[in-house]
């Protein structure tokens, strides 16, 4: 079931993830006076309310704390969480309509929304140790199927994300170190991870040196795992999968397979339009 759960999450991820790349989202936040990266941090953390920046730093694990702090301070000096949440859902609605067109009212969309909401609702009481999931699970459900599906995937994404942070912490990794091990896995280029999370070259290089000293990485010029490092990274992924499987297991293998088939054309259309690099992950 673990592989099925991971695959189902991957099929659904572009359906949620498009909100971080849709121009409609950036425009909606800009209308509130929130521009640039502040829109990302404010929109994803708005479910917490206007909490102090260290709370967002704690939950947005692999981002440079200075970037998070500046972004949150800027956002909440310009607007408030309720307005940002409303803008986020309006942007999701607009972006989904723009890309998917009539498909948002299709029987396939309605069925997918029912299945994924069922999966998400089986774990809405399982919030211990999952702060981002808990915050989003406390929000009201939308009514239209295409937004129900988006909200459900938002919940399951944060459910998995919180589990991943716990696994990284248990493995003794700091945020920048977690990014470096992700880069060493070959999933995403190192420079993309470094710059998108706001780390300087000095921060990055110091962390690489530390990981080499702790036998995570070899001394090769590129980022290469030692056998022990590769094993530890595999354990992180295994722990993440094991602590994320429950909602998918509760709806069962046939429902997961149906979800994958139903959502695949939606996710593919969104990825092709807004995040083409995601196609290689499906």
Cβ atoms < 10 Å from Cβ of 147: 18
What pLDDT, on the 0 to 100 scale, is given for residue 276? 81
**Dist. CA 168–CA 177, nearest whole Å:** 9
Contact between 38 and 46 (Cβ < 8 Å): no
| pTM above threshold 0.85 | yes
Separation between Cα atoms, residue 77 and residue 60, nearest integer Å: 20
Per-residue pLDDT tens digits for 226-265:
999 999 999 999 999 999 999 999 999 999 999 999 999 9
pLDDT band at 187, cuts 50/70/90? Answer: confident
Choice among 37-41, 217-221, 239-243 with the minimum mean pLDDT: 217-221
Q: What is the pLDDT of residue 221?
A: 84
Burial annotation 217-236 (CB, 10 A radius, 16+ → b, else e): beeeeebebbeebbebbeeb
Is the pLDDT score of 104 beyond 60?
A: yes
pLDDT in the model for residue 278: 63
Chain-centre distance of CA 188, in angstroms?
A: 15
Q: Residue 279: its pLDDT value, please?
A: 58
* CA 9 to chain CA mean position, Å: 11
Section 147-165 average pLDDT: 98
Cα 157 from Cα 151, distance rounded (Å): 10
Average pLDDT over residues 111-115: 98
Count CB neighbours of 10 within 10 A.
14
Average pLDDT of the residues in 204-210: 97
Quickly tell me which residue has 């690489």 as its tokens: 208
Torsions phi, psi of 217, nearest 5?
Answer: -125, 150
Provide the 10 A C-beta neighbour count for residue 21.
18
Sequence ranges of the domains in the chain: 2-168+239-281
Task: Provide the pLDDT confidence category of residue 28 given band limits of 50, 70 and 90.
Answer: very high
Cα 109 to Cα 133, 145, 152, 185: the distances in Å are 24, 6, 13, 34
Contact 123, 117 (CB under 8 A): no
Summarize pLDDT for 61-70 with one digit per residue, the tens: 999 999 999 9
What's the pLDDT score for residue 277? Answer: 65
């Amino acid at each position: 079931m673990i592989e099925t759960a991971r695959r189902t999450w991957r099929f659904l991820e572009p359906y949620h993830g498009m909100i971080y790349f849709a121009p409609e989202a950036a425009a909606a936040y800009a209308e509130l006076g929130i521009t640039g990266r502040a829109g990302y941090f404010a929109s994803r953390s708005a479910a917490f309310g206007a909490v102090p920046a260290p709370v967002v730093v704690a939950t947005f694990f692999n981002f440079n704390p200075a970037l998070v702090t500046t972004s949150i301070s800027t956002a909440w000096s310009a607007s408030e969480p309720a307005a940002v949440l409303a803008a986020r859902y309006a942007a999701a609605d607009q972006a989904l309509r723009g890309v998917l067109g009539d498909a948002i009212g299709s029987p396939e969309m309605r069925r997918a929304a029912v299945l994924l909401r069922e999966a998400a609702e089986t774990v809405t009481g399982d919030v211990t140790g999952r702060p981002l999931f808990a915050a989003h699970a406390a929000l009201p459900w939308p009514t239209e199927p295409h937004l129900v599906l988006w909200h459900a995937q938002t919940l399951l994404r944060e459910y998995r994300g919180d589990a991943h942070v716990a696994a990284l912490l248990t493995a003794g990794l700091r945020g920048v170190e977690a990014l470096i091990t992700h880069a060493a896995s070959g999933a995403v280029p190192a420079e993309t991870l470094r710059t998108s999370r706001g780390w300087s070259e000095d921060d990055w290089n110091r962390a690489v040196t530390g990981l080499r000293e702790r036998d995570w990485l070899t001394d090769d010029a590129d980022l290469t795992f030692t056998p022990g490092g590769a094993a530890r990274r595999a354990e992180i992924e295994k722990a993440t999968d094991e602590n994320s499987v429950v909602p998918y297991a509760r709806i069962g293998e046939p429902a997961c397979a149906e979800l994958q088939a139903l959502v695949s054309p939606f996710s593919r259309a969104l990825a092709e339009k807004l995040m083409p690099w995601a196609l290689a992950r499906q």
